[in-house]
Amino acid sequence: MTTGDDDGWSVLHGGIRPSPVVRGWLRMVRVLSAGPVARVPPDVLSASGVVVLAGAWAVALAGAPWTAATALLVVAAGVLDGLDGAVALRTGRARPLGAVVDAVADRLGDLLLGAVLVALGAAPGWVLAALALVFVHEFLRARAQSVGMPGVGAVTVAERPTRLVVVALPALGAAVLPAGPPLVGVSWGTVFALTWTVLGAVGLAQLAVGVVRTIPPRFPESPPGR
């Protein structure tokens, strides 16, 4: 990973420098996007991530020990989620419509992640709370950017990689201990739906602070007299 790659990521994320974990992730995506996958249209990669998560949900419905495959599919969907943008930039196919397709695919993917947790035994109420926080989080960022906020406002604890992790882990846990976490008395799905909800609330607060700090005081190119 070069300094230029770090700088490119930083520009897209409001000047925030990537952590060592993020740098490792970017390095992996960069290597993969330079291979045969570069021939695949970015929109196809975005759609493939949704299809893979639908498969993860179907496998989760089968129960243990198949939920180990669910965890692998969730990770694969995360890789596809990173590859679509990387391939678009590397091959010069980045365009506004592609960004819209990617955003829609991400939101459909979030819904499927919630469905996976329900299949793992999560209480639907906690899953709905987690998903509501996700949609408010993403709407807040998108709306702030549409009125002139540079960057992403803040990189929070509730970003998409976190959502993938809090679904992959209980899927793996359910494969090893189908009865649920020891001494807890609830399913793996419920434990991580609650975890997702807490992280979502913290992340929304982080983003709100970032938006207030970085959003411009006036609309860009305000009409005369306003």
Q: Given the structure tokens 């740098």, which residue do they identify?
A: 23
Work out the burial of residue 93: count CB atoms within 10 Å of its CB; fewer than 13 is exposed, 13-18 middle, 19 or more buried: middle
The DSSP symbol for 217 reads S
Show the CA angle centred on residue 148, arms to residues 145 and 14, nearest 5°.
65
Of 43, 81, 102, 106, catalytic? 106
| Contact (Cβ atoms closer than 8 angstroms) between residue 206 and residue 133 | no
- HSE-CB of 3 using CA atoms within 13 angstroms: 0
Annotation marks residue 106 as catalytic = yes
107 Cβ neighbours under 8 A, 6+ residues apart: 135, 138
Residues carrying an active site annotation = 106
